[in-house]
Amino acid sequence: MSVQTISALTTSVEQAQEILRRDGAIIITDALPAGVIDEVDAELAPYLDRVPFSQGNFFGWRTKRCASILVKSRASHQMAANPYVTDVVKGMLLPFCESIQLSGTQAIQIHPGEPEQLLHADEELWPAERGRMQYQVNTVWALTDFTKENGATRIVPGSHTRDAIERLPDESEIVYAEMPRGAVAVWLGSTIHGGGANQSNAPRTGLSLAYCLGWLRQAENHYLANPPEIARTYSRELQELIGYNVHSPNLGAFEGQDPKVLLEMGERPDVLAFQDFMPEWAAALLAEYCAARDAAKRAA
């Protein structure tokens, strides 16, 4: 089995939604002109060149990540607001909300030597009741070709219908979202997936633009009401109450770090090393998984 690939030129939005509901994932080609991909690639390259490798078993040790994509790349706006892709996403989320929103933006560059990531479901960001509704839909645009060898995303088709998240399913159930540069992989927040191991000699780069339910946010936009230049004068307790903190696992980060770094620094940094923010039980699970994974590879 593989992730089904369709063309935005020949497949209706309704047909794409049907496949996504059935399989939990889909690959879409021909949604953007190649020139847009070139622009995004060029705009993000300086940041990916400078950003340090991530620091954690989840975000990886040989993976570069940077956020605030809409600020760093004007061309990426054509991805974030792509009418075909957002219409597909709306079909999954609007039954449960009045409008969708961007949950997170992230360029992800997996370098050679990075092992496969822990399989997970994006809805684990929230205390979601599995199967009740879809909380998020993620999209990853290929800025380079995605192949099994260079770390294409691993996906378990149909896993969105399971009652529990299986971290170690049978290998025969895992497929790779192999796709050409410019295509976009779309999967439900309940679909089990994870980054692949890069066993090639070159980085694999993708742009993640995740969408979530419109009500998964604060009633007031505290970041506009209390921008950093004002919030840095508040007590740390008040800063945390209005949202300048990270709620594990990995919710509310700034460039992959606790937002307090933005308040403590004199100048706004544009790249920082991503850091894992996990509850103790999740950190222990990740450490156990990585130890077992690496031991199995050494024994092979």
pLDDT in tens, 34-73: 999 999 999 999 999 999 999 999 999 999 999 999 989 9
The C-alpha atoms of residue 289 and residue 268 are separated, in whole angstroms, by 36
Q: Which residues pair with 209 in a beta bridge?
A: 105, 139
What tokens does 178 get?
């192999």
pLDDT level of residue 200 (50, 70, 90 thresholds): very high
Q: Residue 220 pLDDT > 90, yes or no?
A: no
- Mean pLDDT for the stretch of residues 112-118: 97
Looking at residue 241, its pLDDT comes to 86
The C-alpha atoms of residue 251 and residue 103 are separated, in whole angstroms, by 10
Rg (the chain; Cα; Å): 19
Burial class of residue 259 in the structure, from the number of CB atoms within 10 Å of its CB (0-12 exposed, 13-18 middle, 19+ buried): buried
pLDDT level of residue 1 (50, 70, 90 thresholds): confident
Looking at residue 46, its pLDDT comes to 97
pLDDT level of residue 167 (50, 70, 90 thresholds): confident
Quick one: what percent of the chain has pLDDT higher than 70?
100
Single pTM value for the model: 0.87
The C-alpha atoms of residue 175 and residue 171 are separated, in whole angstroms, by 9
**Which of 227, 239, 205, 207 shows the shortest CA–CA distance to 102?**
207
Looking at residue 2, its pLDDT comes to 85
Q: Which residues contact 270 (CB under 8 A, 6 or more apart)?
A: 47, 68, 72, 255
Looking at residue 249, its pLDDT comes to 87
Apex CA 262: angle with CA 257 and CA 266, to 5°? 140
Which position has the higher pLDDT, 112 or 223?
Answer: 112
Number of H helices, E strands in the chain: 10, 10
pLDDT level of residue 130 (50, 70, 90 thresholds): very high
Q: Which residues of 66-77 are buried (b: 16+ CB within 10 A; e: fewer)?
A: bbbbeebbebbe
Reported as a single tens digit per residue, the pLDDT across 233-277 is 998 998 998 899 988 888 889 999 999 998 998 788 889 999 999
Scanning the structure block, which residue is given the tokens 């939005």? 13
Q: Residue 217 pLDDT > 90, yes or no?
A: no
